[in-house]
Structure 1
Amino acid sequence: MNLQEQILSAINTTLKNPIYQTLQLLNIKSILHRANFVKKREGVAPYLVVLHFVYMLVMNKKISSFMHQSNESFKKDTYYRLLQNSSYNWRKLLSLSTLKIIKLLHKVQDASSIKVFIMDDTVEGKTGKYIEGSRDGLWSNKEKRTIRGINVVSLNYSDGYSNFMIDFAMSMGNYARVKVEEFSTELDIRCNAYKRRMEIMEGKSKIALAMVKRAVHSGIYADYLLVDSWYSKPAFIQEMNDLGLKVISRIANNTKIWNFNDKEKTLNAMYEKHKKLKNAKVGTYGKKIRFSYFSTVVEHKNAGKLKIVFIKTTDNLIPIVSTDLELNDEEIIEIYKRRWDIEQGYKELREYFGFGQEENRIYEALIARMTLSFFAYNIVSYINRISHEPKTIGGLFKDLECELYTLSIAMQAFIEIMDKIAQIDEIVKNNKDFTSIIATLRSATQELLGFRCER
């Protein structure tokens, strides 16, 4: 073992950087290479720039403040070049890293736990007039009004304990602020960025279908796909049936979308008939919401046989459909409740990982920046899962931020002490390797931490 390897081993044994260790465990350099993050002859390795971005997100720093506080940061152009490089395959980076994390989780997962895909979309406000990918007329549930912003469709994986973002896409529709042909960067039609750009005009249903297919074909397994009523249409469920993926979803009480083969062709007609014939059970959601429920099995000409659980609250009738007829009513309701996991994921992404706070106008840079937010979220979720005392994401987030500061300051202080010792003539004379050890320590520290941070 050479000097560099010995020092790296010693530092790893004494000072542990969980983010760096997780990236090593994922073999992130290989993943980046497969996603076409290839270093040019001159310049910084993409791996180090990605590592810096992960640190920025965990430490809640923008590029400018990170550069101000880090003596080992790169030049500003280095970070922006990574975000705008048209050859990098950001989708592949996210999907390959998530697949590896899920494989690593097998050793701590309960084999009997139900794994689910969750499909949903969210709206992020963007006020800039020329932000590529933004559009007008988006309904914001948070603000209860239509706003200008971006519509992000995403696919999440949950095993009931941890959540990970697998894929996402932006949907622009017909109300674009900037048309695709007017985007500022001209791209080669063969590059990854151009292919990613072309999906933006596709409808959300088509985008969602493509995401699920990619996830299944990549080797990620889930027992069920959970979606809300917007995505749950007969054609979509038929596609999932063909894919061999079972669906549990809320469906819209809309006679134009849902007409069944039974005598009672609409949801309202079925509910009115069966509420008289069946004894409804009573359930609760949280502390305040009480509901009654019962189920029936029906057939649709496109979606096939379905089990519908009718949930009746004081104000609403909520039909939940399952393509798995073997599940009982309670199981269907409990599994569908896990659709909330993706909403919690969005909340944590906004609060701790800079999602929705991107300051980029160029579409490709927005995609890159959101991918990095999802990637950092997945890394922290994994660290939380394998720790002996799992915490909330917020609690772990703060601990990691503090730990990164402590690691960097401790190592730099130690090296500065060594520098002072090296200035003592007698020590240098008696140990010719001393200055070499200091240089190796400095290099090893930068490699392990990725930067030098001073408060």
Structure 2
Amino acid sequence: MLRDKDIKKIQELKADFTPGRVSAEDIFSRFKALKLSEGLSEFKWFKTRGYDFKMVLALLVSMVVSSDKTVNSYLNSPTGEGSTMGKDVFYRLKNSPFICWRMLMWHLVHRFLTVTSKDSDVDDTSSRYLIFDDTTLSKTGKRIEKIGKVWDHVTNSYVLGFKLLVMMYWDGKSSMPLDFSLHREKGKNQERPFGMSKKQIRKQYSCKRIKDSYTAKRVEEVDTNKIQMVLRMFFTAIYRGLRVDYVLVDSWFTCDALIQAIRGVKDKEVHLIGMYKFAKTKFEYQGKSLTHAQINNMLGKARRCRSLGYQYKQAKVLYQGVEICLFFSRRGKNDKWKVLLTTDTKLTFKGLIRHYQVRWVVEVFNRESKQLLNLGRCQSSNFDAQVAETTISMIAYLLLTLRFRYDNYESKGALYRSMNADVLRETLDRRLWGLFIELACSVCEVLEMDADDLLEKMLANPKAESMIIALCCSVMVKDD
């Protein structure tokens, strides 16, 4: 349906992706640049266990953008061997039932939009889009909590895993994941619900959760209809004040409920553009109740759009009391007619295609995140960890998008304005401390001494002791 479906030609992160460019300190500095401290203040309880929430989260994000994709591989790497954090620190964060990952993601998105909106070269006339799509996250463990077999439209087969429903936002320059939910499919076979035997379901991991807690609500979403989740996410985006001009969906989500919800938004002009395929649905056209195929036959000869290479027809109809426009298009005479539906009756065919092709940013996100950012690779049995890992991959995508945006599209003014002097001083302090450690180790090699013995002798000197403690404290204070 689109002029160019080749995802490779519109990939951004992969073209600029080098894992060595993004370290834990770089991620932590990005948190500071976006001023996330206030939004993460409610996670101070995590530090009572010994480590700051932001630092542990930064390490988890840095793992997915590095060659060390898992906690185990990170701790066994040269970088992780020097860390004082054990694996339990990371697992405790991912398995925690007290973290609202959805709220964390939304706060990060709001900070992203606040920073980028301060640039003078931001184009306020360009349209903003919400895009909904689902993709398959394949797994290997049958004992993963709430796991099941889902239909994969790419391989045309059933795959063990979850369906990931994603809501993306496009502001004209960058794509941002806003929210997501994980789903399973029960199927029609009552003897094997979710494609699993009853014995396999009993052996799956399970744990008791506080009623109405963040994690309990996430678990409930697994068996919630995806259309209902799309409506929830859409209303959340509107409630949070996001500017939305168009909602873009494929044929799996274009339905009466979504049309009514979008056109029912007050004080905002929001329109739907979606592929449509239901053959039995009736529309009111020229006073008659007809299917889209019957309407197509009544329209006569098709027009030709030379610039896009399509033949197309157009019809304004009524559907459930809402005026909509149906566009029928095909490449050649032997191609099948495809139907696009929009509530914006003023759109031309070229304008419709220009808007709808933005939907492919979600396909780019799915591909890049799976290939580069470990999306869907979590094999933890705890469903809370599955939600945490998915959110961490999306946070990594958002931070890399921010970096790519200021490296390629815009001036760095807003980004630099948001980065206060504390971030720059912290980077310098850490570098000085690292150089001091390297120098001490080099001296020990020359003198054939133990590093601990050398530090003890240096600390025995009052002047050297005060200098070392001052340098050490300047780094530790930043951590606090």
Change (3 A) 1:410 1:270: farther
State whether residues 210 and 216 of structure 2, in contact with CA within 8 Å, keep that contact through their aligned partners in structure 1: yes
Pick the aligned partner of 1:259 from 266, 283, 289: 283
What is the aligned partner in structure 2 of residue 107 from structure 1?
A: 118
Counterpart amino acid of residue 110 in structure 1: D
Shift of 1:27: 2.3
- C-alpha distance after superposition, 1:338-391 (max 9, x if no partner): 11100001111011110011121211110111011111111111111122568x
Which amino acid is the alignment partner of residue 284 of structure 2?
F
TM alignment of 1:120-159, pairs within 5 A: 120-136=133-149, 138-159=150-171
CA distance in 2, matches of 1:43, 1:425: 28
Q: 2:51 aligns with which of 44, 47, 51?
A: 44
Report whether the alignment pairs 1:225 with 2:242. Answer: no
How far 1:44 moved relative to its partner?
Answer: 2.0
Q: Deviations over 1:3-46 (max 9, x none)?
A: xxxxxxxxxxxx99543332112222322235x56326333222
1:296 to 310, 315, 323: 315
Number of equivalences: 407
User: In the alignment, which of 358, 370, 374 is matched to residue 354 of structure 1?
Assistant: 374
Query: What per-residue deviation string (whole Å, max 9, x for no partner) do you get for residues 156-192 of structure 1?
Result: 0112321110000011232434769975111110421
What is the TM-score of this pair, normalised by structure 1?
Answer: 0.81
In structure 2, the residue matched to 1:10 is: none
The aligned amino acid for 1:359 is Q
Distance 1:426 1:209, change over 3 A: closer
After TM superposition, the structure 1 = structure 2 runs for residues 189-200 of structure 1, keeping only pairs within 5 Å, are 189-200=211-222
Equivalent residue letter for 2:110: L
Structure 1 residues 96, 144: CA separation in 2 closer, same or farther (over 3 Å shift)?
same
Counterpart AA for 1:312? R
Kindly indicate whether the alpha-carbon contact (under 8 Å) linking 1:125 and 1:149 is maintained by their aligned counterparts in 2: yes
Tell me the equivalent position of 1:272.
297
Partner residue in 1 for 2:179: 167
State the Cα distance separating 1:197 from its structure 2 match: 1.2
C-alpha contact (below 8 Å) 1:116/1:223 kept by paired residues: yes
Assess if the C-alpha contact under 8 Å between 1:205 and 1:231 holds in 2: yes
Q: 1:427 to 1:365 in 2, by over 3 A?
A: closer
SS at match of 1:339: helix
The answer to whether residue 380 in structure 2 is matched with residue 380 in structure 1 is no
1-structure distance, mates of 2:219, 2:203: 10
Residue-by-residue CA offset, 1:281-308 (whole Å, 9 max, x unaligned) = 3343xxxxx4212322111125x01112
Distance in 2 (alpha carbons) for counterparts of 1:163 and 1:411: 38
Deviations 1:190-228 (A, max 9, x none): 421112211211111011111111111122222111001
Structure 1 residues 274 and 65, CA gap change in structure 2 (3 angstroms)? same
Q: 1:53 aligns with which of 29, 42, 60?
A: 60
Partner amino acid, structure 1, of 2:71: I
Q: What displacement does 1:418 show?
A: 5.9
Matches within 5 A, 1:289-438: 290-302=309-321, 304-314=322-332, 315-388=335-408, 412-417=434-439, 433-438=466-471
Unaligned ranges ≥5, structure 1: 1-14, 285-289, 391-406, 449-455
> 1:281 corresponds to which residue?
305
The worse-fitting range, judged by mean Cα deviation, of 220-229 and 408-417 is 408-417
Q: For 1:239 and 1:292, how far apart are their aligned partners in 2?
A: 31
Query: Is it true that 1:117 corresponds to 2:117 in the alignment?
Result: no
1:26 aligned onto 2:3: no
Asked whether the equivalents of residues 46 and 52 of structure 2 are also in contact (C-alpha less than 8 Å), the reply is: yes
1:152, distance to aligned residue in structure 2 (A):
0.7
Deviation of 1:91 after TM superposition, in Å, equals 0.8
Contact 2:324-2:341 at 8 Å conserved across structures: yes
Structure 1 residues 190 and 146, CA gap change in structure 2 (3 angstroms): closer
1:164 and 1:354 mapped to 2: Cα distance?
Answer: 17
1:437 Cα deviation after fit: 3.2
Q: Which residue of 2 aligns with 1:402?
A: none
- Which deviates more, 227-236 or 431-440? 431-440
Q: Please identify, of 25-34 and 84-93, the stretch whose mean Cα deviation from structure 2 is larger.
A: 25-34
Q: CA deviation at 1:273?
A: 1.6
Shift in alpha-carbon separation, 1:68–1:308, aligned structure 2, 3 A: same
1:90: how far off? Answer: 0.8
1:134 Cα deviation (Å)?
A: 2.2
One-letter identity of the residue aligned with 2:467 = F
What code does the residue aligned with 2:476 have?
S
Q: What is the one-letter code of the residue matched to 1:319?
A: V
How far apart are residue 133 of structure 1 and its match? Answer: 3.0
Aligned to 1:12: none
Alpha carbons of 1:426 and 1:106: their partners in 2 closer, same or farther (altered >3 Å)? closer
| Contact map agreement 2:169 2:175 (CA 8 A) in 1 | yes
* In structure 2, distance between residues paired with 1:83 and 1:17: 20
Contact residue 144 and residue 382 of structure 2 kept, 8 A: yes
Alignment RMSD: 3.0
1:91 aligned onto 2:102:
yes
Amino acid aligned to 1:300? Y
Cα distance in 2, alignment partners of residues 53 and 317 from structure 1 = 47
Distance in 1, Cα, partners of 2:35 & 2:331: 49
Give the CA deviation at 1:73.
4.6
Tell me the CA shift for residue 87 of structure 1: 1.2
